[in-house]
Structure 1
Amino acid sequence: MLNYILRRILYAIPILIGVNLLTFTLFFVVNTPDDMARMQLGIKYVTPEAIEKWKTERGYDKPLLLNHKEEKWRKLTETIFFEKSVTMFIFNFGQADDGRDITQEIKSRMMPSLAIALPVFVLGLIVYITCALLMVFFRATYIDFWGVVLCVALMSISSLFYIISGQFLVSKLWHLVPISGYGSGLSAGKFLLLPIIIGIVSSAGSSTRWYRTIFLEEMNKEYVRTARAKGLSEHIVLFRHVLKNAMIPILTGAVVVVPLLFLGSLLVESFFGIPGLGSYTIDAINSQDFAIVRAMVFLGSMLYIVGLILTDISYTFVDPRIRLS
């Protein structure tokens, strides 16, 4: 078991290093600091002096990989690569263009994002799996037919429609919850209720239909026929055996949303004015603050890799055979 976990962690290290190198290449080689300065200052009529001043203020005036002006280890440390890329591994993301510390901003904005994403993840998983099991239990009936129709209809509607419609009906027309904003403590609940409901509903169609497909595939396997031949009732076969054996694909699908638990939902946070990491990323893209965008790309990739490792570990609990692989 321990060897299995260590192998997965060792596999993840080169992947994270590769993502870091790719991010550095995109932000500093393909898009050079001079290009970033021109975008911030304006493409036309920008003097070389203004560009150099902008680069100096943000630490972009140093060499990319090797500083020949320094001695010994400072040849490597006094570079853009070390200060802007390597330090990310110790969660030192530097400063944004407006001078604020990115690490502190991430810490302060993490909880609002989690306050939305965690309930959506947990409640959504319960709702989707329950609905999928009911559709499979009543397969080939009107419940299953209209359930699939509803899922397809929900899949065909953009999440933007749910956001705008929810704000208009629930907030503006019925005045049940605030249309946007965020509060501290328990007062945040009234601001989070509608975004959580919209987050669950917007993914209900695709997720429920996907889980239904997984359960139907399991229903045609040999162990299900054996269980029925032993005289077990249909609901015991479905809820005790099929659900247990379908946990591996369920866990695989769940890992995709792990980064969202921290990074938040970009659209939901922006439309509802919630100061989370999602809206923080959107604002950085709009203002072309490359330091923040670079930090969020690295953080998102790291969280996704962590999610993959946790998923691999969780596999060992639902299928002991994996421990031997």
Structure 2
Amino acid sequence: MLTLLIRRLVSLVITLFAVSLIIYVIMGLLPGDPAAIMLGTSASPDTLAALQKQMGLDQPLPLRYLHWLGGVFRGDLGQSYTYGVPVAGLIVERLAVTLPLALLAVCLSVAIAIPLGVAAARSRNGLVDFAAGLFSHIGIAVPGFWVGLLLIIVFSTTLGWMPAGGFPGWAPSFSASLKALVLPAVALALSQAGVLTRVCRSAVLEVMNEDFVRTARAKGLSERVALWRHAVPNAMIPVVTMIGLQFTFLIAGAVLVENVFNLPGLGRLAYQALTQRDIVVMQSVVLFFSALVITMNFVVDIAYLFIDPRLRAGAR
């Protein structure tokens, strides 16, 4: 098992290096000169050349990459061209919005999907199963930003129950900030709940046909007890995997929803950096998203070893 952990960790490091190189090369090859964008068309050639040298844009791309990578190891992601502040501080500041949003959306998704998926498996081909399948199809098909717009029209514009957008900040008002995250979290959670419902239903149906569940029924346990005490816990491995992947997707994929609700999160920061051609912010945010996804996949793989004893036996 230790050998497998070391092998996975080495693979994680190599993947992160490869991803960082790809991100930097792609960002470096994008058309346009950040220095020229910052100064505008009226800047003199001497001024432009001086700013390019200050920003390190006069150096070859491989040398700029090594310099940037060294800064990443020191926690220095560079200075934002647009905001004039360290990018690491910007990411931490915006993460204070995106992380709670993703956590709330995951909690809502799990609270909806697991009971619905188990109920659908229990009443296979029945009315509940049909309703769960319909919900799953709608959740997967309808984009989150469209659901967000619909929620704003109903709960903000029409009923006036929830704020239409914005984020007051955790320090001034915790309750108002939490309330501002409810609608975007619902918009993100519905599509994820559709996927998770389908995964949970399939996993529970597969486990219910196993011998240990039949043995539990043969011993006189009720269908409810056999389901919740034996079938559901053993069906959670693919569900836990999907929850971990959904969490990373919600952090990295909340760009449109954050813009719809005007939330100052990481997704909105990435969108603003793209429109303002702030390469330093763009490559740092994309690297953060990529590192998060890769690390979460590693954590899920390791969690598998502790959840399923068969994998631990195979790793020896």
TM bracket, shorter-chain basis: 0.7 to 0.9
Structure 1 residues without counterparts, runs of 5 or longer: 66-78
* Residues 228 and 144 (structure 1), Cα distance of their counterparts in 2 relative to 1, 3 Å cut: same
Contact 1:16 1:302 in 2 (8 A): yes
1:56 to 45, 53, 56: 53
Q: Determine whether 1:198 maps to 2:195.
A: no
Report the TM-score, using the length of structure 1 for normalisation.
Answer: 0.85
CA offsets 1:239-263 (integer angstroms, 9 cap, x no match): 2222222222112212223434654
Q: Distance in 1 between matches of 2:33 and 2:231?
A: 54
Contact 2:103 2:247 in 1 (8 A): no
Contact 2:200 2:236 in 1 (8 A): no
Q: Determine whether 1:40 maps to 2:45.
A: no
Partner residue, 2:131: 146
Q: Distance in 1 between matches of 2:282 and 2:139?
A: 32
Partner residue, 1:276: 265
Per-residue deviation at 1:178?
A: 1.4
Partner AA of 1:292 in structure 2: V
2:148 to 141, 163, 168: 163
Report the TM-score, using the length of structure 2 for normalisation.
Answer: 0.87
1:94 to 68, 72, 78: 78
Contact 2:258 2:267 in 1 (8 A): yes
Partner residue, 1:217: 206
Per-residue deviation at 1:221?
A: 3.2
- Write out aligned runs for 1:3-82 (5 A): 3-28=3-28, 30-31=29-30, 35-37=32-34, 40=37, 52-65=49-62, 79-82=63-66
Contact 1:38 1:46 in 2 (8 A): no
Per-residue deviation at 1:42?
A: 10
Q: Residue 85 of structure 1: SS of its match in structure 2?
A: helix
* Residues 301 and 90 (structure 1), Cα distance of their counterparts in 2 relative to 1, 3 Å cut: farther
Kindly tell me the number of residue pairs found equivalent between the two proteins.
309
Per-residue deviation at 1:3?
A: 4.6
Per-residue deviation at 1:302?
A: 1.1
2:161 to 167, 176, 179: 176
Per-residue deviation at 1:110?
A: 1.1
Partner residue, 2:68: 84
Contact 2:78 2:87 in 1 (8 A): yes
* Residues 44 and 104 (structure 1), Cα distance of their counterparts in 2 relative to 1, 3 Å cut: closer
Percent of paired sites with the same residue: 28
Q: Distance in 1 between matches of 2:139 and 2:222?
A: 32
CA offsets 1:271-320 (integer angstroms, 9 cap, x no match): 11111111111111121211111001111111112212211222133212
Contact 2:98 2:265 in 1 (8 A): yes
Per-residue deviation at 1:170?
A: 0.6
Q: Distance in 2 between matches of 1:86 and 1:262?
A: 26
Q: Distance in 1 between matches of 2:143 and 2:60?
A: 45
- Write out aligned runs for 1:218-233 (5 A): 218-233=207-222
1:246 to 235, 255, 264: 235
Partner AA of 1:56 in structure 2: K
Partner AA of 1:149 in structure 2: L
Structure 1 range deviating more: 282-291 or 2-11: 2-11
Q: Residue 133 of structure 1: SS of its match in structure 2?
A: helix
* Residues 323 and 48 (structure 1), Cα distance of their counterparts in 2 relative to 1, 3 Å cut: farther
* Residues 38 and 90 (structure 1), Cα distance of their counterparts in 2 relative to 1, 3 Å cut: closer
Per-residue deviation at 1:59?
A: 1.8
Partner AA of 2:9 in structure 1: I
Q: Residue 179 of structure 1: SS of its match in structure 2?
A: coil
* Residues 85 and 47 (structure 1), Cα distance of their counterparts in 2 relative to 1, 3 Å cut: farther
* Residues 259 and 92 (structure 1), Cα distance of their counterparts in 2 relative to 1, 3 Å cut: farther
1:131 to 111, 116, 124: 116
Per-residue deviation at 1:118?
A: 0.7
Q: Distance in 2 between matches of 1:183 and 1:46?
A: 38
Contact 1:116 1:264 in 2 (8 A): no
Partner AA of 2:183 in structure 1: L
CA offsets 1:213-272 (integer angstroms, 9 cap, x no match): 222222333433333333332222222222222222112212223434654711221111
Partner AA of 1:90 in structure 2: R
Per-residue deviation at 1:136?
A: 1.0
Contact 2:217 2:223 in 1 (8 A): yes
Q: Distance in 1 between matches of 2:26 and 2:140?
A: 34
Query: RMSD of aligned C-alpha atoms?
Result: 2.7
Contact 2:52 2:58 in 1 (8 A): yes
